[in-house]
Structure 1
Amino acid sequence: MKLYIETLGCAMNMRDSEHMIGELKKQGYASTDDAKEADLILINTCSVREKPERKLFSEIGQFARIKKPDAKIGICGCTASHMGEEIIKKAPSVNFVLGARNISKISEIIHKDKAVEIAIDYDDSTYVFDIARSTGIKALLNISIGCDKKCAYCIVPHTRGKEISIPLDLILSEAKKLANSGVKELMLLGQNVNNYGVRFSTPHPRINFAGLLREISQIDGIERIRFTSPHPLHMDDEFLEEFASNPKVCKSIHMPLQSGSTKILKSMRRGYSKEWYLNRALKLKSLIPNVGIGTDIIVGFPGESEEDFKHTIDVLEQVEFDTLYSFIYSPRPHTESYGWGEEGKVSQEIASNRLATLQSRHKEILRHKAKEEIGSFHKVLIENVKTGEQCFSEGRSDNGKLIKIPGEILKIGDILDIQISQNDGGSLIGRFVK
């Protein structure tokens, strides 16, 4: 039997898809890239995307038209969690709906026509998934599920339930298996990874995220550890110092800011101030001068004034983010801010201008930083190689920069010294130092 799966959204969804593929392999399914030949079509959905419901029903319609007559369609993930039975009512071609917190039930639900499993209090934190993944040097690894935060704009707690940490022994067991299969770099996943250890669903020795990093770094074969996303509120000194001092922890970190205004951060229910965020970010930069810091920023959140926006620009200029994911605020059903209606609404024109200003200033910062990189050295994990007339190798530095090495066929999985020779519009070009 053939399985086709479309994954939308974040790395957590990618990992959930890997879990489902592994579980369905036990049921006799093999993956295919052609939906027309599939016996089972899964859409693993995301609720954070703009107009996710419209996108979903468009996708369902397309698959319903091209699928084999007896092929099943299953809707999984976050949109499945909050829409539930409504999906089947609107799209009768759908055979089942499986919420983001119920992924371990995939092998059962495929045999139950019109079934809906979306309980957000279901606990599969101790479930040992069968993993079916292609061989490679990088892998995703869940360390927690759910989210306890109550950010006013975010639907995730409504779709993924309360935060529960995965037991340490399960994490280490899977990490060792991945290392034995040739994985060199692990990406640890959680909605708030650095809140690890606050709650387990079974009796468990006390441990925090810094302790988890120390444990994973002891595994032979694992050479690099990354994680996403930490929450600024939980960036205590122990975490920052472990991040800085542990040689296996990559010196690249995503610190979602959302807004530089303390007033707007309070309205967003983020739990920290501009001053706290800057204190943590600037301490990181003092501990690791070449640290790579990325962020998320929302402009046009209800009540955001021009002064509030200036605070965001101020943080951008002080931290000099290496990556920036920026968006105009868009209200989402099932979130607190959705119920605010027109209260404090920022016009589309003003929000668009602020976004353009933010992105333009960030590009200036990146161009300046790229020039300063000329002549510098980076340890680069080679991830991709292209052969042929215009051959090149590329990979990421320890601090998260994508570096292209033209004219070189290097071995995927090697960590090599690369010297930056030029920048191309902010992209870094390097050469292998033999």
Structure 2
Amino acid sequence: MLELQTKIHDEQRQGEAYAPFANDTHTYKKHFYIESYGCAMNFSDSEIVASILQAEGFGATRNIEEEANLIFLNTCSIREKAEQTVRKRLTEFRKLKLSQPGLLIGMLGCMAERLKSKLLEEEKLVDMVVGPDAYRSLPGLIEEAGSGQKAVNVLLSREETYADISPIRLDSNGISAFVSIMRGCNNMCSFCVVPFTRGRERSRDAYSIVAEAQNLFDRGFKEVTLLGQNVDSYYWMDEQKDIVVTFANLLEQVALISPDLRVRFSTSHPKDITDEVLYTIAKYENICNYIHLPVQSGSTRVLQLMNRTYTREWYLAKVDRIKEIIPDCGISSDIIAGFCSETEEDHLDTISVMEYSKYDLSYMYFYSERPGTLAERRYEDDIPENVKKRRLQEIVEVQGRLSRESNKRDLGKTFKVLIEGDSKRNSNEWRGKNSQNKVIVFPKANYDLKKGDYAFVKVNDCTQATLLGEIVEQA
């Protein structure tokens, strides 16, 4: 078994506060505000940006009108709606800037490369545009923008992983945290802009990942989610020691930090998740029995157009393998309705894959053509929007039924639940998740429990989205 070092690199690298919005706003003369959109990777990146800004003397704030000297939007280009939302927010912030001379507005992340000229020069909505691999250059860009110049750095890198930067945990509950293990993507799915906005895959130093997870646990965190555009293709080599670390190796080493530290990961590409990973999940109780396995379409023909590199039959065999090795594994998915040339038969193929896989949850969208993607260059976006929306609604209805059926199958079962905090609706109830990533709400009763504790909860009832139970014993 591969052993990785768990040595903490240095005190500064690991940071201190996990909730600067709550605690740090009055200890700094300059303040920043970050708003994040899109995937978990964007939110993780915002925590890296916060660390870089804190080192430059900026504290985080929510008080935009009175305290913010910098406003950043960390953007997403995956869907058109996200871009529309970002544009609206930039317009609102630009109005605020008119009444607050000296306020700087910056755009971070995936929209940076594609829209830099338009937003800087034509619409004049931002003062800075910074791509996902250029966050180290922020201090210089802030200085440049402060002198009245337009500041831009959208260069992609083949090496940058920010491994030496300790993220500042923005708005953290103090229980769960993201740990980025790699950046970029090599898959070139025809509908996706990520390879063009985040560059090629590169895996982060394994020692620094384990050290960050160890430090989080030492500070009271009880759950880490290992993040990457395609975590299963994680591959890192220590050339000096001639050690190769695969994703299965990395999962195991993070799990070995403590049995009380839960380990999750996202996202898996079906073509890359291996038996080695599945057996590692099955071996360790604290690696959660939950896999997000995006299918996108249930039609082999459409999957080929999407450049997903697997067939319908291959995907279903992977679902079978997961359930064979991890019988109680929760599975969720991503689904796109109305991709180029999709027929009614293709659409029904997608629904049949959902029925077979029995997803607990799905993230469902209708196709939104993104500029710069392979699909934009190769195919006609020829499905009318009303047809896309109708197919999406049918997919949503099927998933709603599958989610209810999945939750009903859990009635009478007892799960180990990590308490994340009060229920949103009732402060006399706890809210937590089980290993399968399902939300469970249960009365606090007279048990001496707190956020971050584990409890065994028996499920008595459910809704489509939530399991409802009662404590049967403390973990």
Give the TM interval when normalised to the shorter protein.
over 0.9
SS of residue matched to 2:221: coil
Cα distance change of structure 1 residues 327 and 406 upon mapping to structure 2, 3 Å threshold: same
Greater relative contact order structure (CA < 8 Å, 6+ sep): 2
SS of residue matched to 1:375: coil
- 1:60 and 2:98 correspond: no
The AA in structure 1 aligned to 2:402 is I
Report the Cα distance in structure 2 between the residues aligned to 1:316 and 1:396, rounded to whole angstroms.
23
- 1:304 and 2:342 correspond: yes
TM-score of the superposition, structure 2-length normalised?
Answer: 0.86
Cα distance change of structure 1 residues 318 and 35 upon mapping to structure 2, 3 Å threshold: same
Report the Cα distance in structure 2 between the residues aligned to 1:282 and 1:207, rounded to whole angstroms.
27
- 1:103 and 2:135 correspond: yes
The AA in structure 1 aligned to 2:437 is G
- Stretch of structure 1 that moved more, 78-87 or 34-43: 78-87
Cα distance change of structure 1 residues 55 and 368 upon mapping to structure 2, 3 Å threshold: closer
2:159 aligned residue: 123
- 1:350 and 2:379 correspond: no
What is the total number of aligned residue pairs between the two structures? 433
Task: Measure how far apart 1:52 and its partner are.
Answer: 4.2
Report the Cα distance in structure 2 between the residues aligned to 1:388 and 1:366, rounded to whole angstroms.
21
Cα distance change of structure 1 residues 359 and 165 upon mapping to structure 2, 3 Å threshold: same
Report the Cα distance in structure 2 between the residues aligned to 1:394 and 1:111, rounded to whole angstroms.
44
- Stretch of structure 1 that moved more, 354-363 or 197-206: 197-206
Task: Measure how far apart 1:135 and its partner are.
Answer: 6.5
Report the Cα distance in structure 2 between the residues aligned to 1:291 and 1:52, rounded to whole angstroms.
31
- Stretch of structure 1 that moved more, 376-385 or 422-431: 422-431
1:289 aligned residue: 327
Deviations 1:74-95 (A, max 9, x none): 1101001322233211343522
| Residue pairs, 1:184-333, within 5 angstroms | 184-197=222-235, 205-220=243-258, 223-333=261-371
The AA in structure 2 aligned to 1:215 is Q
Deviations 1:279-307 (A, max 9, x none): 11111112222211000001111121122
TM-score of the superposition, structure 1-length normalised?
Answer: 0.94
- 1:41 and 2:71 correspond: yes
- 1:414 and 2:450 correspond: no
| Residue pairs, 1:352-371, within 5 angstroms | 352-371=389-408
Cα distance change of structure 1 residues 156 and 137 upon mapping to structure 2, 3 Å threshold: same
Report the Cα distance in structure 2 between the residues aligned to 1:135 and 1:383, rounded to whole angstroms.
7
Determine if contact 1:42/1:75 at 8 Å carries over to the other structure: yes
Determine if contact 2:360/2:403 at 8 Å carries over to the other structure: yes
Report the Cα distance in structure 2 between the residues aligned to 1:202 and 1:10, rounded to whole angstroms.
35
Report the Cα distance in structure 1 between the residues aligned to 2:317 and 2:202, rounded to whole angstroms.
28
Structure 2 residue ranges without an equivalent (≥5): 1-29
Determine if contact 1:139/1:183 at 8 Å carries over to the other structure: yes
Deviations 1:139-162 (A, max 9, x none): 100100101111000000000000
Report the Cα distance in structure 1 between the residues aligned to 2:299 and 2:178, rounded to whole angstroms.
33
SS of residue matched to 1:285: helix
2:438 aligned residue: 401
Report the Cα distance in structure 1 between the residues aligned to 2:464 and 2:201, rounded to whole angstroms.
41
Report the Cα distance in structure 1 between the residues aligned to 2:353 and 2:282, rounded to whole angstroms.
22
- 1:31 and 2:60 correspond: yes
SS of residue matched to 2:243: coil
Deviations 1:367-399 (A, max 9, x none): 222222211111100001259976110100011
Structure 1 residue ranges without an equivalent (≥5): none
2:220 aligned residue: 182
Cα distance change of structure 1 residues 285 and 388 upon mapping to structure 2, 3 Å threshold: closer
% of aligned pairs identical?
A: 35
Report the Cα distance in structure 1 between the residues aligned to 2:322 and 2:140, rounded to whole angstroms.
46
SS of residue matched to 1:125: coil
The AA in structure 2 aligned to 1:26 is A
Determine if contact 1:254/1:295 at 8 Å carries over to the other structure: yes
